[in-house]
């Protein structure tokens, strides 16, 4: 609590003015994230709606770029990928986490836990949720990147923002969410971990840090 209060106070005093998003190549999620990699390919003309129109309209106001795709592998297993990017991760412009947006759509939040994902040979912090809507069970894996750092908690996120503020920088932010409709939670998380690893590996090396953080910031 003290760290959060201190970071909030410092953030007010420092008032960063330079957006790091303006110093980096622009984000184009549709071209940066391949439509096919490993055993996965994008499934087109998907009838299942991931977020309702009202929720999507709200998210479009928060984020500068969003991407929603459904992928299917050779065994017919489907993964829903949602990526949201915002240029400004300070003040009221914050990443909208699944713990909030899923219940807003009528889902029950059954459990939450923190964990690790093995991406590019390193462990990054991630979060896993169990959700349900009627007979639909949807385990979720997601992680957040602020600037070039994958955050492990709200406190870590605040401290990261302060570090950027001390350099007069406003960090950008990205939330990567992977989910699947699967009553076998352990199986779902295992497949999601594999999907995440193969997806990041398939992204061009010059862009990977935007999606998985910079190893030097761990």
Residue 198 main-chain phi, psi, to 5 deg: -70, -35
Cα dist. 4→10, 78, 156, 204, 218 in Å? 10, 39, 9, 35, 20
- DSSP letter for 50, please: S
**Can you give the pLDDT at residue 23?**
82
Rounded Cα distance between 107 and 184, Å, is: 18
**Can you give the pLDDT at residue 51?**
46
* Terminal alpha carbon distance of the chain: 22
Rounded Cα distance between 46 and 80, Å, is: 10
H/E run at residue 190: helix 185-202
Rounded Cα distance between 173 and 81, Å, is: 17
> pLDDT digit of tens for each residue in the chain (218 aa)?
555 555 555 545 556 778 887 888 889 999 999 999 999 999 987 654 444 434 555 566 667 788 999 999 999 999 999 999 988 765 545 567 889 888 888 999 999 999 999 998 899 999 999 999 999 999 999 999 998 899 988 888 888 888 888 888 888 889 999 999 999 999 999 999 999 999 999 999 999 999 999 887 76
**Can you give the pLDDT at residue 186?**
95
């Amino acid at each position: 609590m003290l760290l959060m209060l201190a970071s909030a106070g410092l953030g007010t005093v420092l008032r960063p003015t330079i957006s790091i998003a303006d110093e980096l190549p622009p984000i184009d999620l549709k071209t940066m994230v391949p439509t096919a990699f490993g055993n996965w390919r994008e499934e087109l003309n998907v009838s299942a709606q991931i977020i309702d129109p009202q929720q999507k309209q709200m998210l479009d106001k928060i984020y500068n770029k969003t991407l929603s795709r459904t992928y299917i592998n050779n065994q017919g297993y489907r993964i829903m990928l949602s990526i949201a990017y915002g240029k400004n991760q300070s003040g009221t412009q914050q990443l909208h986490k699944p713990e909030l947006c899923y219940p807003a759509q009528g889902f029950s939040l059954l459990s939450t836990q923190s964990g690790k994902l093995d991406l590019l040979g390193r462990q990054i912090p991630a979060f896993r949720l169990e959700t349900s809507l009627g007979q639909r069970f949807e385990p979720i894996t997601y992680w957040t990147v602020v600037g070039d750092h994958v955050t492990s908690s709200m406190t870590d996120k605040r401290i990261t923002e302060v570090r950027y503020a001390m350099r007069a920088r406003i960090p950008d932010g990205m939330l990567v969410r992977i989910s699947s409709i699967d009553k076998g939670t352990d199986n779902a998380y295992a497949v999601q971990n594999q999907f995440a690893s193969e997806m990041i590996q398939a992204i061009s090396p010059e862009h990977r840090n935007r999606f998985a953080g910079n190893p030097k910031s761990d």
